[in-house]
Structure 1
Amino acid sequence: MLLPSTNHAMLLKVSTAVTAARLASIDTIRGIAVLGILLLNVFSMGVSLYDYVPHQQANFADKLWQVLYYFVLRDRFMSLFAMLFGAGLYLQWQRFAGATDLLKRRMYWLLVLGVLHCILIWPGDILFNYAVCGLILLRYLKQPPQAMLALALRLFVMGVLLSGVASLLAGDIPPIYRESAEFQQEVSLWTGAYQQQVALQAMYWVGDLLYFPLTYLWQLLGLMLLGAYAVRSGWFTVGLAHYSRFLLPSSVLLSAIAYLIATSENAALTGVAEAVTNVAALPMSLWIIHQLAKSQYRSSSIFSALQAVGRMPLTLYIGQSVAGVLLFRHIAPELNVSLDWYGYLAIAMLWNAVQLVIASLWLHYFAQGPLESLWRKLAFGRNYHPAP
């Protein structure tokens, strides 16, 4: 599956080309995205078929969770991370002087890592999907900026529509509650023997392999292409100029519409609510990019810590999965039943604080994260020397 080996001279040439200074604002924003992703993923580290499962008798906390889900968490950081992946791939393509063969090797190995992550550790993997989209994205990086923007928006809209149609075709799915026998059975399955977990995760991956090209692939590809356009347009360094004032209000408005639909009497409209939420996530992600790009505190210690997180996203993303699965399936599986949503978020925030410390300490002694180093060596060989 991998492309032929590149000769030694070519590797040295590439290693020289990629020694340009890293765009600190992208590292900072990527750090926000990596930490933010855990705030939603933490709910499915145990029973991986669901996000937060509410109580049958909805209390005030569960109602507050719905507001938080639709207005803040759902797809916000995932959309941001996808755009950053596209931006990073475009910068690498520039540094490699258009040597797409080398970048394809990189995507192929990310694909392998994603399959292993999904089947052996946690089925909520995004690496496989990102690798597939990255391979497609390489075909469009030469496009003029306006053509790239137009294609990005078309792909995003098509992906949202396909996901919405798929949800509607799935029909009215009965809600699941914490106290139900069905949820108790799911907890038993996902916290059972490791071999059983691997089998479940392999089935999950096969299902995603069939479902992904028909739905989320196009939305994800659109976001990545938008990220490539954003880095070409300077959004990560100077912000979004005239559009910035409309970003947050439009996201809040769309989130309110999604929330009202989701909490209405018509349960069949839940799929429509998810599609509207996907759209609402985009302006909020762009607003975060604008705010951080324009921030006057980019030289502060917290920004430096976020940059460190953003420089080792693969290591920390896999680390989140390992830590979450160990906690919720092996060390304390009872938490799947006893924790309310704020308990999950407290655990995620604590682990995020740990990640800030780990990333800063690691990069004080090493040039890159351990999995980042492994990924580069797998893709390029031992003669490749990463940028600082």
Structure 2
Amino acid sequence: MSADDLADRLPDLDGRWREAMRAVPRRLFVPGRAWCLPGEGEGHLIDRAIEPDLWEHAVCSVDTAIVTQIDDGAIGIGEGGGEYTSSGSAPGVVAAELALLDPYDGDEVLEIGTGTGWTAALLAHRLGDANVTSVEIDPSVLAVAEANIRKAGRSPRLVLGDGTKGHPEGAPYDRVHVTCGVREVPYGWVEQTRPGGVIVLPWISGWEGAHLARLTATGDGGAMGEFHRACAFMPLRSQRWSAPVVEGGFRRSSTLLDPRRVVRSSYGAEVAIAGMLPGVCGTHADEEGGGFRVWLWSDDSEAHAHYTPDYKRISVWQRGPRDLWDEVEAAFLRWVSWGSPGRDRFGMTVTPEGQYIWRDTPGDPVSP
């Protein structure tokens, strides 16, 4: 596979973005040693010096993300353990986000999260170096990105700083391109976007999944838009999750609602539940023998529900001031009562007071 093949295998791209990907190949932005996260299968180490063909295959794969930093650099690549904290996104997701960004010639773009520098260089090739500003919070990540971008022959404006604040010195921007997961949209991004301008971001609610959102600045201090495809991104540093410290014993109960249905029914259910239960996070895992378990947590409570094929009822454990499983169950059944609408029926509005999710129109908020 080659850079040309990669560009041709990305259906979301128009001709100008394909030309940019050929001119700015991904391989210039991938280190010789990194951790590969394919779309399917287990993650594994890639090392160009040892297995150049495996490295090349990962670089040119449409659905493969490549981790370049673990635990903010405290753990070396391949040492095992730790949280992924910087990466090169899978080209398929990059293409989808750039397609949603849809800039005009001459547009000025603010990018939040320089990462490896690949998307900043793609934007600079498409729009011109002077029209692209990319903000990165980690100085070591930014230094590597700058070297990568120079190898590609581009020189956008690179800024070391907190991306949640944007870069007001260059505002207003026609487009804001966000390359890290966002739970709460920083209002500064809306303030720095020209009326009618667009913000494209990965929205990660914490509850099961992330979704690309395309918001348009309305000119009255807000921004609104709809959700699109699923994605996976590392969160903004200031919006990372932390496990709660909950004291006291669990309250045990049971339910007839299969937690597998709650998790796997629809992307629409994911968005609806997240909109009704902001601040509630969840994860799940299959177990041997057909079992399935869901874990839930918030700032002050936690719960888990355990399905096993041997019993009709599902065991539930909850503690803290909130009964999180009961809340998730009620939210899911409320979504069912609406006719199980899909993700394309939901959107987000951001105002100076905060953000909310809506169904069909901004005037129909999905209230907690």
Same fold by TM-score greater than 0.5: no
Task: State the TM-score, normalizing by the size of structure 2.
Answer: 0.25
TM-score for both structures, normalised by structure 1 = 0.24
- If asked which structure has higher relative contact order (CA below 8 Å, sep 6+), I would say 1
Q: Which has the higher helix share?
A: 1
Larger relative strand fraction: 2
